[in-house]
C-alpha cells in the first residue's frame, strides 16, 4: 500500500478531490460548493499554499510543487 501512495502525487489527489466535490455540487444543485472550490483554488494561486495538497502530502502521497 505504501508503494502505491508513493506513485500517486498529491496534486493528482487534489484534482480527484476537486472533481468529486464539483460533481457532488452538480448532483445536489449546490452553487455554494462550486464557489467553495473556486475560493480554495484562488487561495492556492495567491498564497502558494493549498490545504488539500498539504493534507494529501501528510497522508503519504508523493509531494510535488505547484
> Please, which residues have CB within 8 angstroms of residue 22's CB and are 6 or more apart in sequence?
33, 34, 37
Does residue 9 carry a pLDDT above 70?
yes
Per-residue pLDDT at 66: 60
Within a domain: 17? yes
Q: For 10-21, what is each residue's pLDDT tens digit?
A: 888 999 999 999
Question: 24-40, pLDDT tens digit by residue?
Answer: 999 999 999 989 888 98
Number of domains in the chain: 1
Residue 10 domain boundaries: 2-58
| H runs (alpha helix) in 2-50 | 2-7, 10-28, 31-47
In a domain, 30, yes or no: yes
Whether residue 6 lies inside any domain: the answer is yes
| In a domain? residue 65 | no
Cα separation, 40 vs 33, whole angstroms: 11
> What percent of the chain shows pLDDT beyond 90?
33
| Residue 63 is assigned to a structural domain of this protein | no
What is the pLDDT of the chain when averaged over all its residues?
Answer: 87
Q: Would 46 be classed as within a structural domain?
A: yes
Amino acid at each position: 500500500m505504501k508503494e502505491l501512495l508513493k506513485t500517486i502525487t498529491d496534486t493528482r489527489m487534489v484534482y480527484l478531490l476537486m472533481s468529486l466535490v464539483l460533481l457532488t455540487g452538480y448532483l445536489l444543485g449546490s452553487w455554494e460548493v462550486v464557489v467553495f472550490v473556486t475560493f480554495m483554488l484562488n487561495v492556492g494561486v495567491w498564497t502558494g499554499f493549498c490545504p488539500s495538497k498539504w493534507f494529501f502530502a501528510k497522508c503519504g502521497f508523493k509531494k510535488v510543487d505547484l
